[in-house]
Amino acid sequence: MPVLALVDCNAFYASCERVFRPDLAHRPVVVLSNNDGCIVARSPEAKALGIRMGQPAFQCADLLRRHQVAVFSSNYALYGDMSARVMDTLARFSPAMEVYSIDEAFLDLAGLPDPEAHARRMRETVRRHTGIPVSVGIGPTKTLAKIANRLAKTDPACGGVLDLCGRDDLERILGGVEVEEVWGIGRRHAAWLRGLGVRSALEFSRLPREVVRRRMTVVGLSTLLELQGVSCLDLEQAPAPPKSVVASRSFGRPVTEAGEMREAVAFHAARAAERLRGKGCVAGNILVFVQTNRFIAGEPQYAVSDTAAFAVPTADTAAVIRQGQAVLERIFKPGFRYKKTGVMLYGLEPAAARRGSLLESPRDAARSRALMQVVDGINARHGRDAVTFAATGVDRPWRMRQGSRSPRYTTVWDELPEVRAG
């Protein structure tokens, strides 16, 4: 029987901000999504105020002001770096670990005499080394570990750790878990289940398998079996190679001009190509999309995408920009107030595995790789965007708002926190 622990950082982004702002220790803190649009992280004090996850910031602006909530724009350089520190610490507690997301990891704790005690040590160590509070849920399957983790977080009696392995009151516990709280059951399926009269994780786990499979596919069936203690989702230690890379953003204000749109597409194309190189891949295909603001009722809506294949799989910024703009030409229609655009690169393969092609000369390919290496090298040393392509624009009047970003404390020299004596 597997023993799986899910370690999940509490209010991760908000906790990262607090590490560098001890004055905020017991104050409500929220972090906003890109473009300062939605709430994406809330400290416990902010949760207590009734601020919802994913809530548009403008809707609760009043509440934020009234309770003097500390508000931060998201700062991914900081969160990514803090995440790496947490994961490094966790890795010392198990030989088998899966980094599941920026703030979560599954660990295999099988064979330990006392997994719960181990988890408590782990929790203390992460806290001491990084300042980030975490919760640990333990169970015989990933889905049950997820549930354990949620209970560990919400029930103060747990002290941040809960082990569901070998509990004889498991059914009672699952009976108290709302069906929409189960990992893998989203809004649509929850609504359908409620319609059937299914309210709890326990009731879901007792549905006929064929009924679940027909409506929720094999994915839903796995969830059901995992709740019964049958492990269907393995620990994935090696990260799977990526299948696609996306770069997209909402605009800071509506865009109507083709020229601005071309700039933005070039900008995202360059970002996507950069990320692709970072992963050591080349892409065979590109997709470009544009869309208007679907929240504005009565305004003409337009949302389309189109794709193109590269003659030769590539990670060359110039090639990606060129092809991206060619696709944009086909889909851009004047007369709309655009909200967002983006570029997806897919059909990825490892750059190293690629063989030469009749369509490109080996010399061109080598020159492209050398140029990209120089660009990436300069940007790594002197900051992102030290060298850019002219097509990506200079002033970028369409770029997103980001009013309250904290310093990149741990990744940019100029923004290191200072400690003053006395």
Partner DNA sequence: TCTGGGGTCCTAGGACCC
The binding site for DNA (CB under 7 A) comprises 33-35, 37-38, 40, 54, 56, 58, 61, 100-104, 146, 182-190, 217-219, 240, 242-250, 253-254, 271, 275, 285, 293, 295-296, 307, 339-340, 342, 400
| 241/417 with CB nearer DNA | 241
| 246/318 with CB nearer DNA | 246
**Do the bridges between strand 104-108 and strand 4-9 make them parallel or antiparallel, or are there none, so unpaired?**
antiparallel
Return the exposure string of 267-289: e unless at least 16 CB atoms fall within 10 Å of the residue's CB, then b: bbbbbbbbbbbeeebbbebbbbb
Radius of gyration of the chain (CA): 24
Other CB atoms within 10 A of residue 356 CB: 10
**Do the bridges between strand 70-72 and strand 29-32 make them parallel or antiparallel, or are there none, so unpaired?**
parallel
Q: How far is CA 316 from the centre of its chain?
A: 25
In three state form, how does the secondary structure of 92-155 look? CCCCCEEEEECCEEEEECCCCCCHHHHHHHHHHHHHHHHCCCEEEEEECCHHHHHHHHHHHHHC
SS3 percent helix, strand, coil of the chain, rounded to 5, is 45, 20, 35
Instruction: Provide the edge-to-edge strand list for the sheet that holds 4-9.
Output: 97-101, 104-108, 4-9, 134-139, 161-163
Give which of 8, 132, 149 is closest to 78, Cα–Cα: 132
User: What is the DSSP secondary structure assignment for residue 414, as one 8-state letter?
Assistant: G
Helix (H, G, I), strand (E, B) or coil at 7: strand
| 175/242 with CB nearer DNA | 242
Are 9 and 139 contacting, i.e. CB atoms less than 8 angstroms apart? no
| 337/369 with CB nearer DNA | 337
In three state form, how does the secondary structure of 149-215 look? HHHHHHCHHHCCEEECCCCCCHHHHHHCCEHHHCCCCCHHHHHHHHHCCCCEHHHHHCCCHHHHHHH
| 1/240 with CB nearer DNA | 240
* Helix 258-278 / helix 317-331 crossing angle, nearest 10 deg: 140
